[in-house]
């Protein structure tokens, strides 16, 4: 056969199929037969778009086609000769013929014939099929077809004179369905159990088991995340990290919990608008925050507010309505009745989103939700209780305190010295004292030197630094005019070289030192870090050491969170540390409430909490109610009063660790971006030519006129996204259910019943099985949008379970398998290929959820493209478990996606994607053969083969083959692999270095029990098995 003959054959065969797909009876149907022709060849100039309409003629509606235009009527039903359209179509006059030659889309003779017959038969118009609410058709009565899906399919097959294939064998079937439902292959044990289960519902039970696995949701979620354009970076310019993964994990959970699709829709489009939304509902609303965003310097805010709203609108229309709304951004849709006004009415639902035009290059562009873990929630509750207990003790202390204002005392007190003790007999009870050197030693009279109270510290440090200290658990405040003091006793028989006191103010950074200044090396000399006080004090007696706090840069009000008694060498006893201050209580606001009131009256005091601040500032003290006066007074006692400060300080210090833990938990809580609207809606306009700065007519929130209308508008508010969501899932929407079932169908059969799963408009393809599509759509609604049930319906059908074997005749008849006379067969997705390799090797770490991980990636994927300041410029590969997580959890940087995803057609999530391609390229081959993660997986798989596969080479090959394909190899296959294995055995036995290199590839270590040459040989065999066409495809 020559090339030309072959071409002709192919073309002819294709024509046969095209004819057979449109098929059966003679009567022309507008939607099926005529609309595609008009849409493709005429609507661009004679369609819905007013602006581009030529000669005032529109052919998309009957009124337009029948209209009398200057004595001509384009279409006169049943009267071919009077129909101007026909005259123009068959004209051979260059100026008259339609479509015009320069339009470049001439009609074929078949198409002309369709138009001719249509006019002759009455030129009936139908509304476009997908805009008509589906009515549930009767299920055809077909012998043996228990699943309605098969009844519809077989009716068609019978009409075509074809038959469905026999069921696939059970090993093929379990591999197919396990991969399709969980994204992972079955284990040998699972295959054996299934083969052994002879019960009639063995398959049904298998499906149910698979749907119960958490891996079900992980796998199914991927498809939705393609639609939602989920990723871990903002996507534009710097392309910095964003925290959105709780949304990804919610999708997995929602699918596993089988959240009905109507709820799934409401939560995502309007979770934030639900009544008292749950955390999950808010997380789900992040669907509308998955769009790309920018923070590029110089950007103009209105432009980006506009673009984000356009992205959200277009995405919602594509995902739920299967319409390509993008055209109507700039002009009325040429082919579908979607006007700009319709588009911008829907856009108005999204145009008031509260997120900013500039994402700030932040991980947490508002609005966000912080998600604490359930176990942390419990802990937070406990902490709140503990904090509350301490606070109630403070309140008790304050309310029970008998206070007399010094100004009211008689006689009035004069200036007095007030000593506050921080250490006496021991460290504060709430602290955990620590020591350098021997453990803390407390001596009491009469065994040792004590200055006051019952006991003192005694420490001996022989020729080394020794110290006793605490940090945390108690906090002291430096008072005004205060002087620090401490008492020490130096042993005359064992004098230290140096003594030191240290104070903790956010760190150990305040020190005073006596004696040899160099002995203790900490701190910069002559600064508050190390202030030299002079020679050692007298030995053999108690000496009071006094320190001016200003030398240590300690100001009134500074909080001291710890102190240390430190020495170098010798024996030192320490006792009674504190602060002394001189004040006149009758004029000091820390002692007299009357004075404080007087000083603060009418002023803004930022130390006061909201509420009290306004009260003190805005209302004369003598006008306070008794209750108000009490609140101010108690707050003063608690916060400012010198007589309680240290007692309360101790209590506050008890609280400090709880406060700190609470804030740590809150800081560690994952963040997810959520949807919210501005309190005041933006006005929305039709944007002329889709330009952000060319507003046209104002629009109100609404839906296209050619679709069912929204529910009645609530009296007290405008329509919102929840109304839009409700409208989509009302069950009366002609598109939502059809689009949804079609996409799932596409997932399991490779192609949708409507092949253009992203376009249900008139430019899209008509369904191959319209009645089946309508039956599935209406049934989904009847089933309460139960998605697991719907999936079961598909995978239990004969159509799904039949063999994918194709004969050349059938391939020619139906190359795309639209009639489903055979089972679906296609290459596995990017994620499944990687997960499968990890799974069979035993490397897969099945942890569910969490922040995106960074597995193996070749150098220079991010770096050559990343912006200088981007926080995703440098790829820092993770190690350990994170290398082996399911691909769903791989960190997705949109401007430089992971090669294992990009090479296998995974979208980069810059925009919504309803269907991935399935390319077949040499780069894929290189990756599966040579990528470190595949080679490492092959080695670990080889280890398993050696350890679990049996003793002989043959047993081992059989075992490995089964793990990958689920089936036994035939003798010839076995022989090919054995021959290859033998070759590699020889090769690596002769080259120990090569063997060592190969098995050392990857972060995990090869099993050292195994002989390197043998492991290396099996590694390449495992690599071969994982590259089999059968391994990378699902049959």
Partner 1 sequence: MHPILEAQQFQTRRQFFLGAGLKVGGIALAGLMGAQRASADDAVHPALPGLPHFPPKATRLIYLHMNGAPSQLDLFDHKPGLQEHFDKDLPESVRNNQRITTMTSGQARLPVAPSMFKFKQCGEGGIWMSELVPHMHEIADEIAMIKTVHTDAINHDPACTFVMTGSEVPGKPSLGSWLSYGLGSESNDLPAFVVFTPTFPKESQAQALFTRMWSSGFLPSKYDGVALRGTGDPVLYVRNPPGVLRSDRRAMLDALGELNQRNFDRFGDPETLTRISQYEMAFRMQASVPELTDLSGESKETLEMYGENVQTPGTYASSAILARRLIERGVRVVQVLHRGWDQHNRLPKLMKGQCDDVDQPTAALLKDLKQRGLLEDTLVVFGGEFGRTVYSQGTLTKDNYGRDHHPRNFCMWMAGGGIKRGVTHGETDDFSYNIAENPVHLNDLNATILHCLGIDDRRFTYSFQGLEQRLTGVEETHIVEEILA
> Which residues, 890 to 909, sit near partner 1 by CB under 8 A?
895-897, 899, 902-905, 908
Considering only residues 672 through 701, tell me which ones interact with partner 1, judged by CB under 8 A: none
Task: List C-alpha distances in Å: 487 to 421, 445, 457, 909.
Answer: 12, 16, 11, 70
Q: At what angle do helices 188-196 and 953-965 cross, to 10 degrees?
A: 80
Task: List C-alpha distances in Å: 300 to 303, 312, 356, 692, 760.
Answer: 6, 19, 12, 10, 35
Q: How far is the CB of 979 from partner 1 (least distance, A)?
A: 7
Considering only residues 809 through 828, tell me which ones interact with partner 1, judged by CB under 8 A: 811, 815, 825-827
Single residue of 273, 321, 327, 616 touching partner 1 by CB under 8 A: 327
Nearest residue (CB) to partner 1, 663 versus 919: 919
Q: Residue 998 interacts with partner 1 (CB under 8 A)? A: yes
- Residue 845 is given by DSSP the state B
Nearest residue (CB) to partner 1, 633 versus 904: 904
201 burial level (CB within 10 Å; 0-12, 13-18, 19+): exposed
Single residue of 444, 919, 968, 990 touching partner 1 by CB under 8 A: 919
Q: Residue 1000 interacts with partner 1 (CB under 8 A)? A: yes
Nearest residue (CB) to partner 1, 167 versus 710: 167
Asked if residue 203 lies in contact with residue 214, where contact means CB atoms within 8 angstroms, the answer is no
Single residue of 440, 669, 929, 989 touching partner 1 by CB under 8 A: 929
Q: Measured between alpha carbons, how far is 220 from 344 in angstroms, rounded to an integer?
A: 32
Considering only residues 378 through 437, tell me which ones interact with partner 1, judged by CB under 8 A: none
Q: How far is the CB of 297 from partner 1 (least distance, A)?
A: 5
- Residue 552 is given by DSSP the state G
Sign for the CA dihedral angle at 713, 714, 720, 723 comes to negative
Considering only residues 465 through 504, tell me which ones interact with partner 1, judged by CB under 8 A: none
Single residue of 71, 104, 161, 521 touching partner 1 by CB under 8 A: 104
Choices 293-301, 366-374, 701-709, 771-779 (CB under 8 A): range interacting with partner 1: 293-301
Task: List C-alpha distances in Å: 762 to 48, 337, 366, 912.
Answer: 12, 9, 39, 21
Asked if residue 822 lies in contact with residue 1008, where contact means CB atoms within 8 angstroms, the answer is no
Q: Residue 1016 interacts with partner 1 (CB under 8 A)? A: yes
Q: How far is the CB of 327 from partner 1 (least distance, A)?
A: 6
Nearest residue (CB) to partner 1, 283 versus 1032: 1032
Q: How far is the CB of 62 from partner 1 (least distance, A)?
A: 22
Asked if residue 663 lies in contact with residue 363, where contact means CB atoms within 8 angstroms, the answer is no
DSSP symbols for 294-339: B--TT--HHHHHHHHHHHHHHHHHHHHH---GGGGGTS--SSSS--
Q: Residue 1027 interacts with partner 1 (CB under 8 A)? A: yes
Single residue of 336, 355, 774, 835 touching partner 1 by CB under 8 A: 336
Q: How far is the CB of 896 from partner 1 (least distance, A)?
A: 6
Single residue of 317, 635, 1020, 1034 touching partner 1 by CB under 8 A: 1020
Nearest residue (CB) to partner 1, 198 versus 876: 876
Nearest residue (CB) to partner 1, 502 versus 903: 903
Of 688, 55, 45, 581, the C-alpha closest to 335 is 45
Q: Residue 995 interacts with partner 1 (CB under 8 A)? A: yes
Nearest residue (CB) to partner 1, 348 versus 928: 928
Q: Residue 29 interacts with partner 1 (CB under 8 A)? A: no
607 burial level (CB within 10 Å; 0-12, 13-18, 19+): exposed
Considering only residues 294 through 313, tell me which ones interact with partner 1, judged by CB under 8 A: 294, 296-301, 307
Q: Residue 161 interacts with partner 1 (CB under 8 A)? A: no
User: β-strands 434-436, 72-73: how paired?
Assistant: unpaired
- Residue 828 is given by DSSP the state P
Single residue of 185, 578, 764, 767 touching partner 1 by CB under 8 A: 764
Single residue of 403, 522, 685, 867 touching partner 1 by CB under 8 A: 867
What character string, x for contact with partner 1 (CB under 8 A) and - otherwise, covers 228-267?
A: -------xxxxx----------------------------
Q: Which two tokens stand for residue 176?
A: 């197919």
Task: List C-alpha distances in Å: 403 to 477, 588, 592, 644.
Answer: 21, 15, 10, 10
Q: Measured between alpha carbons, how far is 330 from 344 in angstroms, rounded to an integer?
A: 10
Q: Residue 291 interacts with partner 1 (CB under 8 A)? A: no
| Rg of the chain over all Cα atoms, to the nearest angstrom | 40
Task: List C-alpha distances in Å: 544 to 416, 485, 537, 774.
Answer: 20, 7, 9, 95
Nearest residue (CB) to partner 1, 354 versus 926: 926
Q: Measured between alpha carbons, how far is 625 from 586 in angstroms, rounded to an integer?
A: 25
The number of angstroms, rounded, from the C-alpha of 893 to the middle of its chain's C-alpha atoms is: 12
Q: Residue 109 interacts with partner 1 (CB under 8 A)? A: no
Place of tokens 């391939």: 811
Q: How far is the CB of 82 from partner 1 (least distance, A)?
A: 33
Measured CA angle at 1031 (ends 1030, 1035), to 5 deg:
50
> Helix, strand, coil proportions of the chain in percent (round to 5)?
45, 10, 45
Q: Residue 994 interacts with partner 1 (CB under 8 A)? A: yes
Nearest residue (CB) to partner 1, 374 versus 808: 808
Q: Residue 972 interacts with partner 1 (CB under 8 A)? A: yes
The number of angstroms, rounded, from the C-alpha of 494 to the middle of its chain's C-alpha atoms is: 66
Considering only residues 590 through 649, tell me which ones interact with partner 1, judged by CB under 8 A: none
Q: At what angle do helices 830-841 and 932-948 cross, to 10 degrees?
A: 40
Q: Residue 14 interacts with partner 1 (CB under 8 A)? A: yes
**Phi and psi, residue 407, nearest 5°:** -70, -20
Q: Residue 921 interacts with partner 1 (CB under 8 A)? A: yes
Q: Residue 911 interacts with partner 1 (CB under 8 A)? A: yes
Asked if residue 233 lies in contact with residue 239, where contact means CB atoms within 8 angstroms, the answer is yes
Kindly give, in sequence order, each residue whose CB lies less than 8 Å from that of residue 932, ignoring residues fewer than 6 positions away: 856, 1001, 1002
Single residue of 34, 340, 729, 806 touching partner 1 by CB under 8 A: 806
Q: Residue 114 interacts with partner 1 (CB under 8 A)? A: no
Nearest residue (CB) to partner 1, 673 versus 1022: 1022
Choices 90-98, 364-372, 637-645, 802-810 (CB under 8 A): range interacting with partner 1: 802-810
Q: How far is the CB of 296 from partner 1 (least distance, A)?
A: 5
Nearest residue (CB) to partner 1, 20 versus 285: 20
Q: How far is the CB of 265 from partner 1 (least distance, A)?
A: 22
Q: Residue 10 interacts with partner 1 (CB under 8 A)? A: yes
Nearest residue (CB) to partner 1, 41 versus 645: 41
Choices 76-84, 213-221, 489-497, 1016-1024 (CB under 8 A): range interacting with partner 1: 1016-1024
Asked if residue 473 lies in contact with residue 431, where contact means CB atoms within 8 angstroms, the answer is yes
Q: Judged by CB under 8 A, how many residues of this single chain contact partner 1?
A: 108
Considering only residues 841 through 860, tell me which ones interact with partner 1, judged by CB under 8 A: 858-860
Single residue of 763, 779, 802, 890 touching partner 1 by CB under 8 A: 763
Single residue of 3, 24, 196, 715 touching partner 1 by CB under 8 A: 3
Q: How far is the CB of 927 from partner 1 (least distance, A)?
A: 5
DSSP symbols for 704-753: -TTSPPPPPPPTTS---HHHHHHHHTSS--TTHHHHHHHHHHHHHHSS-S
Single residue of 444, 454, 663, 920 touching partner 1 by CB under 8 A: 920
Q: Residue 165 interacts with partner 1 (CB under 8 A)? A: no
């Amino acid at each position: 056969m020559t090339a030309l003959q072959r071409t002709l054959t192919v073309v002819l065969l294709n024509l046969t199929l095209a004819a057979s797909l449109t098929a059966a009876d003679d009567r022309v149907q507008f939607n099926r037969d005529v609309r595609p022709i008009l849409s493709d060849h005429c609507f661009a100039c004679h369609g819905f778009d007013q602006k581009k309409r030529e000669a005032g003629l529109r052919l998309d509606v009957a009124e337009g086609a029948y209209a009398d235009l200057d004595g001509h009527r384009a279409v006169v039903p049943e009267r071919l000769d009077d129909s101007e359209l026909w005259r123009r179509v068959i004209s051979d006059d260059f100026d008259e013929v339609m479509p015009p030659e320069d339009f470049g889309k001439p009609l074929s003779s078949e198409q002309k014939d369709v138009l001719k017959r249509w006019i002759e038969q009455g030129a009936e118009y139908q509304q476009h099929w997908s805009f008509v609410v589906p009515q549930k058709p009767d299920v055809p009565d077909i012998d043996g077809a228990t699943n309605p899906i098969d009844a519809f399919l077989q009716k068609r097959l019978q009409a075509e004179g074809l038959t469905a294939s026999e069921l696939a064998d059970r090993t093929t079937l379990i591999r197919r369905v396990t991969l399709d439902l969980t994204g992972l292959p079955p284990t040998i044990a699972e295959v054996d159990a299934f083969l052994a289960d002879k019960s009639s519902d063995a398959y049904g039970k298998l499906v149910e088991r698979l749907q119960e696995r958490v891996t079900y949701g992980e796998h199914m979620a991927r498809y939705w995340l393609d639609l939602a354009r989920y990723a871990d970076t903002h996507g534009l310019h710097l392309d910095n990290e964003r925290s959105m993964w709780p949304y990804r994990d919610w999708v997995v959970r929602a699918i596993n919990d089988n959240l009905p699709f109507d709820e799934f829709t409401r939560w995502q489009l309007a979770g934030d608008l639900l009544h008292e939304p749950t955390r999950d509902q808010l997380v789900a609303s992040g669907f509308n925050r998955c769009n790309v965003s920018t923070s590029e310097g110089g950007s103009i805010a209105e432009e980006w507010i506009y673009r984000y709203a356009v992205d959200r609108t277009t995405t919602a229309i594509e995902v739920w309505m299967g319409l390509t709304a993008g055209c109507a951004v700039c002009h009325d849709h040429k082919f579908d009745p979607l006007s700009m006004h319709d588009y911008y009415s829907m856009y108005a639902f999204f145009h008031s989103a509260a997120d900013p035009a500039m994402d700030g290059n932040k991980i947490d562009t508002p609005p966000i939700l912080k998600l604490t873990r359930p176990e942390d929630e419990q802990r937070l509750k406990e902490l709140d209780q503990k904090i509350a207990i301490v606070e109630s003790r403070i309140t008790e202390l304050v309310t029970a305190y008998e206070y007399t204002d010094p100004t009211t005392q008689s006689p009035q007190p004069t200036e007095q010295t007030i000593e506050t003790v921080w250490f006496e007999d021991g460290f504060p009870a709430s602290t955990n004292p620590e020591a350098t050197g021997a453990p803390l030693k407390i001596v009491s009279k009469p065994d040792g030197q004590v200055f006051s109270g019952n006991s003192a510290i005694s420490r001996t440090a022989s020729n080394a630094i020794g110290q006793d200290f605490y940090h945390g658990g108690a906090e002291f405040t430096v008072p005004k005019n205060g002087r620090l003091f401490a008492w020490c006793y130096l042993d005359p028989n064992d004098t230290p070289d140096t003594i030191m006191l240290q104070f903790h103010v956010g760190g150990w950074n305040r020190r005073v030192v006596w004696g040899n200044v160099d002995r203790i090396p900490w701190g910069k000399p002559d600064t508050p870090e190390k202030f030299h006080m002079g020679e050692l004090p007298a030995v053999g007696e108690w000496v009071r050491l006094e320190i001016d706090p200003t030398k240590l840069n300690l100001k009134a009000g500074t909080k001291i969170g710890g102190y240390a008694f430190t020495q170098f060498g010798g024996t030192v006893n320490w006792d009674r540390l504190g602060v002394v201050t001189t004040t006149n209580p009758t004029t000091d606001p820390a002692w007299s409430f009357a004075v404080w009131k007087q000083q603060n009256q009418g002023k803004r005091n930022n130390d006061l909490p909201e509420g009290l601040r306004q009260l003190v500032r805005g209302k004369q003290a003598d006008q306070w109610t008794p209750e108000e006066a009490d609140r101010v007074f108690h707050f003063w006692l608690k916060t400012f009063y010198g007589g309680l400060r240290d007692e309360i300080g101790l209590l506050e210090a008890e609280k400090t660790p709880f406060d700190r833990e609470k804030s740590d938990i809150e800081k560690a809580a994952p963040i997810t971006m959520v949807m919210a609207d501005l309190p005041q809606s933006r006005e929305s306009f039709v944007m002329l030519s889709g330009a952000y700065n060319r507003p046209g007519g104002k629009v109100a929130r609404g839906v296209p006129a050619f679709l069912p209308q929204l529910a009645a508008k609530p009296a007290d508010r405008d329509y919102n996204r929840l109304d839009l969501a409700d409208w989509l899932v009302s069950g009366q929407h002609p598109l939502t259910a059809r689009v949804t079932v079609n996409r799932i169908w596409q997932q399991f059969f490779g192609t949708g019943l409507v092949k253009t799963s992203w376009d249900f408009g008139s430019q899209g393809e008509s369904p191959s099985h319209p009645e089946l599509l309508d039956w599935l759509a209406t049934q989904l609604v009847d089933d309460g949008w139960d998605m697991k049930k719907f999936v079961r319906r598909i995978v239990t059908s004969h159509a799904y379970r039949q063999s994918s074997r194709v004969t050349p005749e059938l391939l020619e008849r139906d190359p795309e398998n639209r009639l489903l006379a055979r089972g679906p067969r296609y290459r596995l997705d990017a994620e499944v290929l990687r997960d499968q390799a990890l799974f069979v090797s035993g490397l897969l770490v099945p942890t569910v959820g969490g922040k995106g991980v960074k597995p193996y990636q070749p150098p220079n994927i991010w770096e050559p493209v990343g912006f200088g300041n981007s926080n995703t410029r440098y790829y820092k590969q993770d190690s350990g478990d994170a290398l082996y997580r399911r691909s769903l959890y791989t960190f997705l940087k949109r401007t430089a996606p992971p090669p294992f995803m990009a090479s296998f057609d995974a979208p980069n999530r810059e925009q919504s994607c309803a269907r991935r391609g399935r390319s077949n390229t040499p780069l894929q081959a290189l990756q599966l053969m040579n990528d470190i993660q595949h080679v490492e997986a092959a080695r670990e798989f080889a280890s398993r083969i050696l350890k679990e596969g049996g003793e002989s080479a043959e047993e081992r090959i059989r075992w490995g083959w089964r793990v990958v394909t689920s089936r036994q190899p035939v003798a010839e296959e076995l022989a090919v692999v054995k021959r290859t294995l033998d070759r590699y055995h020889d090769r690596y036995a002769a080259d120990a270095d090569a063997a060592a290199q190969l098995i050392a590839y990857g972060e995990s270590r090869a099993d050292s029990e195994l002989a390197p040459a043998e492991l290396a040989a099996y590694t390449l065999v495992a690599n071969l098995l994982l590259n089999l066409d059968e391994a990378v495809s699902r049959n």
